[in-house]
Amino acid sequence: MKKTFRDNWRVVVEIMPRAREIRASQLGFTGLDYDLNGRLTGEAFEMTFVPRDLGDIGSGFFVSGHRHGRDVDAAYRARCEEMLAEFRRCDHVLSGRVECDEEHRCSHCDLVWEVLTADEAADGSTNQDAHSVEGEPVCCEAAINEFRTERSIPLLATAGGAA
Ligand SMILES: [Zn+2]
């Protein structure tokens, strides 16, 4: 079965530098605000913000990430959505979105999840047998037979063997 792992949650916002709404020091260029006239100009640019770790409860205290159990993704998504809503209150934020990295792995063998294309399923050099169809996983026998069982497709000839 395909399992999806999400990681590296982040908020990406598109910022338009505008006079009086954003200062150089707010962009990390400290010590310049006095010499500047307060105006920033330029093209819109994107910045990526990474949320605080869920286990970080503030004031330097950390707890194990496991306390959020299976809802880690939902918790990170919620935290990012909250950050995004806050960013959007600022006039110089043009747009924004929540992103994460997704990786799909097989629940049986833990390899990266890959499936046959229609061409590969029809090709004797890449399919498992004449019963292979588009979408059939390629990583291991357990995943292939699980896929076939769900679709009432005859299992691999090597499976079980005792029939
Ligand atoms: Zn597998």
Q: Which domain holds residue 86?
A: 2-102
pTM (two decimals): 0.66
Read off the pLDDT of each residue in 61-66 and give the average, rounded to a whole number. Answer: 64
* Region class of 110: left (phi > 0), else alpha (psi between -120 and 50), else beta: left
Indicate the helix (H) or strand (E) that contains 87: helix 72-88
Residue 129 has pLDDT above 80, yes or no: yes
Q: How far apart are CA 54 and CA 109, in angstroms?
A: 29
Q: What is the 105 CA–ligand 1 centroid distance (Å)? A: 8
Q: How confident is the model at residue 19 (pLDDT cuts 50, 70, 90)?
A: low
Is there a domain that residue 163 lies in? no
Last residue of a domain, one of 61, 80, 102: 102
Is there a domain that residue 82 lies in? yes
Better-predicted residue by pLDDT, 123 or 58: 123
Q: Are residues 96 and 123 in the same domain?
A: no
User: Which tens digit of pLDDT belongs to each residue from 133-158?
Assistant: 999 999 999 999 999 999 999 999 87
Better-predicted residue by pLDDT, 91 or 33: 91
Q: Are residues 67 and 133 in the same domain?
A: no
Is the CB of residue 28 less than 8 Å from the CB of residue 47? no
Number of domains making up the chain? 2
Q: Are residues 98 and 44 in the same domain?
A: yes
Q: How confident is the model at residue 163 (pLDDT cuts 50, 70, 90)?
A: very low
Better-predicted residue by pLDDT, 66 or 139: 139
Is there a domain that residue 116 lies in? yes
Q: What is the 62 CA–ligand 1 centroid distance (Å)? A: 35
Q: What is the 104 CA–ligand 1 centroid distance (Å)? A: 11
Sequence-distant (6+) residues with CB within 8 A of 111 are: 105, 139, 140
Q: What is the 4 CA–ligand 1 centroid distance (Å)? A: 13
Which two structure tokens, joined as six digits, stand for 139?
């990583």
